[in-house]
Amino acid sequence: MKHEAAKIIIISRVIEMISEKYRLPLKESRKLLYQSDVINLIEDDETGLYGEDPSFSFQLFVSKKEGVPFEY
């Protein structure tokens, strides 16, 4: 349960970024994030994603969704 505030901020921002990129309602964007394995990486304290800029997690999401190499 560490870093919960940071995770909430990152998750919220990633959902907004998904919504903007794919022109989806926030509810649908949230569903996409929570169906991906990226959410597990964000929520796992061991990955350290809670300390990264939300755009890092967003780019990871996009690369996995679109099947392209991850570039940040």
pTM here is 0.91
pLDDT of 68: 87
pLDDT in tens, 13-33: 999 999 999 999 999 999 999
Count of Cβ atoms closer than 10 Å to residue 48 Cβ: 10
Residue-wise pLDDT for 29-71, tens only, equals 999 999 999 999 999 999 988 899 999 999 999 999 998 887 6
Cβ–Cβ < 8 Å for 12, 56: no
The CA radius of gyration of the chain, in Å to the nearest whole number, is 11
